[in-house]
Homo-oligomer: A and B are copies of this chain.
Amino acid sequence: MTTTCPLPPPPSERILLAHGGGGKLTQQLLDRVFGPAFANPLLDERHDGACFTVPAGRLAVTTDSHVVRPLFFPGGNIGSLAVHGTVNDLAMCGARPLYLTCGFILEEGLELAALHRVVAAMRDAARACGVAIITGDTKVVDQGKGDGVFINTTGLGVIEHAQLIGPRRVAPGDAILLSGDVGRHGMAIMAEREGLQFESAIESDCAPVHEPVLALFAAGVTVHCLRDLTRGGLAAAANEIAAVAGLKMALDQNAIPVREDVHAACETLGLNPLQVANEGRFVAFVPAAEADRALAVLRNFPVSAEATRIGTVTERAAPLVTLRTTLGVNRILDVPSGEQLPRIC
């Protein structure tokens, strides 16, 4: 044993199966880790769930489990991702995020210090987004039956405008707006996981996007559909919406921002940046006549300062997404058919 090979933390500082048993150690986790970090009046009731009052109107609910590997990556970690991911899904429903629930699946042997870091990141991200984590659950699985931490966050938000948004509202002629450059989250994870060295470190774009989205509604912009560009990236989002809506859309590769280092990393790995996951990017489908006004609103916020128009919905037809490439050729932009980047979120 030398100073370069410190003793591992004592067993009491690692997650044991009993932390999920509903007994004293479960209680300790609540008292020492989750309770202090997430404290709020609803959570502090220590009931089987959280009870609260809502005004009459529309709500949105969304759920995501997070299994990203590694747990910590440039620009974020599984905790901030779990908050931003669900906040963003609520925003994509046009809702103001209010509450999150949080379900942890911990692997026996996880260092408590790592859990503390993750929980602190969740606390900070939730505060920054103005959401409260109001109820939760912790399970522990045997070593080798999990992978450190999995986190489910389910979000509840309130819809404060009268617009109906969703894939089925997208119409021919709609402008397709993109909130910023694409491909960073996926490449940041990939670089970290595979130990790849690029000239500059690529940081995840992991960030909440509810503020620019809510500003669109506040400004009275007509919004037909919103979609964040997570798994499968821009390509999957565009194709899913085309499929549900039954229409064609044409994108212009020259208009889609991809950072030089992300482009180079994708080239090296044979990946298409339009198919790579993002965690702070979205597309908005708006009537063409409102596109400029929408872009002006989006550009007021750092997270969407580079918002730009990348394409147009062309016609009701068999679903198809085409891309006019940098060479001026039109080709089909398809969804990834296999798995290019597992466990990206």
Contacts and interface: CB of A to CB of B under 8 A. Distances in A.
Q: Can you tell how many copies of this chain the complex includes?
A: 2
Contact of A63 (B27, B102, B141): B102
13 contacts: A21-B232, A21-B340, A27-B335, A47-B93, A48-B89, A48-B93, A49-B60, A54-B57, A54-B59, A63-B102, A63-B154, A103-B152, A139-B345
Given A49-B61, A65-B139, A150-B150, 14 more contacts: A17-B339, A26-B231, A45-B166, A48-B92, A48-B226, A49-B93, A53-B58, A54-B54, A61-B156, A62-B135, A63-B103, A66-B139, A105-B150, A152-B154
A21 B139 contact: no
A302 interface: no
Contact of A23 (B22, B139, B337): B337
A141 to B, nearest CB: 5
B159 A156 contact: no
Contact of A142 (B25, B340, B343): B343
Interface in A5-56: 16-18, 20-27, 45-56
Instruction: Classify the secondary structure of A's interface with B.
Output: mixed
A66 B57 CA distance: 32
Interface in A93-119: 93-95, 99, 101-105
Interface in A105-148: 105, 134-137, 139-142, 144-147
A67 interface: yes
Given A48-B92, A49-B89, A63 B20 contact: no
B56 A51 contact: no
Interface string A242-271: 011000000000000000000000000000
Nearest to A168: B45
A59 B50 CA distance: 8
A139 B67 contact: yes
